[in-house]
Amino acid sequence: MAQKLMLQGTMSNVGKTLLTAGLCRIFRQDGYVVMPFKAQNMSLNSCITEKGEEMSRAQVMQAEAAGVEPSSDMNPLLLKPTGLAGSQVILQGRVKENLSAKEFYRRKTEFRQSILESFRRIEEKADLVLIEGAGSPVELNLRKDDLVNMGFAEMVDAPVLLVGDIDPGGVFAQLIGTIELLTKEERSRVKGLIVNKFRGDRSLFSDGIRILEEKTGLPVVGVVPYMELNLPDEDSMSERLLAKGNAGGGFFDLAVIRYPRISNFSDFDVFDAWPDMRIRYVTAPEELGRPDLLILPGSKNTGADLAWLKNVGLDSAILAYAKTGPVLGICGGYQMLGRSVLDPEGVENSEGQNGAESSGGQNRAENSGLGLLPVRTILQKEKVQTRTEGRLNALSGMLRELGGCFVSGYEIHMGRTEADDGIIEGTEGGNASKADDGNTSKTEVSDARFLTENGNTYGTYLHGFFDAPEVIPALRKSLGRLRGISLPEQRAVDYQMFKEQEYDRLAGQLRQNLDMELIRRILSEADGG
């Protein structure tokens, strides 16, 4: 049976995801077959596996660090918020239903068996399973029937390391307070503390370590420095989304619209490997400026975010920019760039759609789009989940250098998009091959279906569009030409190799700052050694 270790945090955004990924890489380097696991994640950054399963991007990142194939069993329960009080529930890689928060908490024990089944399958393949908790284990009103923190640790009999974030202050209250609020049985599972995101001279925290150990009776396993790494973040708490201004690094300025329900902003992580390409996020017309490229990213609720664009005046700013600058929409952003988004079955909730226009029929909500692409989208209850690869058609507009590039990635969307000529964008336009289990595994889509072009405006359903090695060099040529400059040739960056180097850098930092011998001893004692 595999060894187990769980990392829980004092709150969200303390760094559990990155620490788990770093430990995955360390144990992989040490010869273990190691698998990540998170019973329940709430995130709008998701990915499609080779089997056509949807899972959190965070666990995909951890699987990459561990050197294993991502599987939805690593994240059997994924909640994708659809509004302020509800989520789409994805169980073992497939959409189950939409639930309000109240209904989910009333029914969450229904998911226990599926979560355990997924964990057992992961456990069978691994020497070590590194488990990540979620939020805080001492949200006392939510403790009953817990599936993801101490409740799950008890289910699988896992020892726990508790992580606190010193960066915002209050790390003593975080760690000592959390330990005090645990039950006696829960407290016995915690085997050590980690102080994360420390800035400055660590020797100045020696008294802090002593105080924590005296107050809790637990060893401090490590004080980990604040690390600037170019690896995917979880969504709502990401510091990436705070980048707004146009000052500082990056020759080319790429502006991304940050609507309230932005999803899959991991599409832009690849630009970390290109020093001359700078991503910033825009939430108001006055922030837009004059970027080299304007991007409308994915959205979990296209209608509501489209209404938000109109309410804040970004629709007019986008239309004005598109007269002379290139615009690219990805997934939900692609849908917004069309003539209309229809929701005849009420797939999306109505929150935030007070700017929507009705087309007349009962329950046939229609949002007028920005009208920059000659397409319309009809939302449907069945979600498209597939991986896709192929070459772009020849292009004639501002980004014509992208024509002929090989692209690969994945589609996650609830709608089909019809062009004015009747062609349907997305998987219905391609020839889907089936995996042995009957799930759609890869779609060979004829080249024109990857990218819709209309003047200065482009749209695609393909997440990961920029990741293929040919794409960003071609984009740089296009943007350089629009600037009236000829850029020197730059060798294409192998993004996968870039990430591998970052995982190794993360592991190196953790080896220096965690007591790995103590962690191994904790594992051995939990295993009866």
Say if residues 24 and 66 touch (Cβ distance below 8 Å): yes
Q: What are the tokens at 451? A: 């990218």
Which residue's structure tokens are 């889509």?
445
Q: Which of 295, 334, 326, 451 is nearest to 397 (CA)?
A: 326
Say if residues 528 and 5 touch (Cβ distance below 8 Å): no
Say if residues 12 and 165 touch (Cβ distance below 8 Å): no
Q: Which of 500, 405, 396, 502 is nearest to 458 (CA)?
A: 396
Q: Count Cβ neighbours within 10 Å for each residue of 286-296 and write b for 16 or more, e otherwise.
A: ebbeebbbbbb
- Beta-sheet strands, E only, within 303-374: 327-330, 340-343, 357-358, 365-368
Query: Helix (H, G, I), strand (E, B), or coil: what is residue 6?
Result: strand
The DSSP call for residue 487 is P
Q: What are the tokens at 430? A: 């391609």
The single residue of 24, 47, 331, 405 carrying the catalytic annotation is 331
By DSSP bridging, strand 375-391 and strand 431-434 are unpaired
Segments in 217-301 forming alpha helices (H)? 285-288
Say if residues 296 and 336 touch (Cβ distance below 8 Å): yes
Q: Which of 311, 317, 437, 423 is nearest to 376 (CA)?
A: 423
Q: For residue 90, how many C-alpha atoms fall within 13 Å in the half-sphere facing its CB?
A: 29
The single residue of 24, 47, 405, 463 carrying the catalytic annotation is 463
User: Residue 253 pairs with which residues in a beta bridge?
Assistant: 278
331 is catalytic: yes
Say if residues 186 and 137 touch (Cβ distance below 8 Å): yes
| Residue 111 amino acid letter | F
Residues, the chain? 529
463 is catalytic: yes
Contacts of 60 (CB under 8 A, 6+ apart): 47, 49, 70
Which sign, positive or negative, has the C-alpha torsion 83, 283, 48, 421? positive
Which positions are catalytic? 331, 463
